[in-house]
Amino acid sequence: MFSVTVRDHMMIAHSFQGAVFGPAQRLHGATFVVDATFRRSELDADGVVVDIGRATAQLRAVLAELTYRNLDDEPEFAGVNTTTEVLARTVADRLAARVHAGELGAGVAGLTGISVTLHESHVAWASYERSL
C-alpha cells in the first residue's frame, strides 16, 4: 500500500456539552495540525499516489471552511460535540467529496482511502480513516 500525506492547520472555537468535558464545556479555542493521508495499492501511470499540490490545495480549502469559526454557531454542528474525532471525520468526508468531484485530478481513480489526523498537541491526536 502506498500513501502520501499533506499537512496544514486550523484554528477554531467551540464548547462541549456534558460533565465529562469539565472546563471544556465553556467556549474555548483550539489549534489543530491536520494531516491528510491518501492511500492506494498501486501507483498511477505517473508513478504517484496523488498530486501533492492538488492534495495540499484541497486540504487547505476544506480547512478554510472551518478555520476562524465558532463551531457552536455553525448549523451543521448544532447539537454535536465537535470533538477532535468528530472534526477528523468531517475533514475526511469533505476531502472524499472533493476526490469524487474530481477536484484532485483524474489520477485519483485508484485511491482506496483517506485518513485524517488532527493533532491537538505534541502528545495527543485523533484520526479517522475512511474508504473511497
Q: Residue 16 is which amino acid?
A: F
Share of the chain above pLDDT 90, in %: 95
Instruction: Indicate whether 42 pLDDT > 90.
Output: yes
Q: Sketch the domain layout of the chain as residue ranges.
A: 2-131
30-54: average pLDDT: 96
What is the CATH code for 2-131? 3.30.479.10
- Cα separation, 88 vs 69, in Å, equals 16
Q: Encode pLDDT of 104-118 as tens digits.
A: 988 888 999 999 999
Confidence (pLDDT) at 108:
86
Q: Encode pLDDT of 48-82 as tens digits.
A: 999 999 999 999 999 999 999 999 999 999 999 99
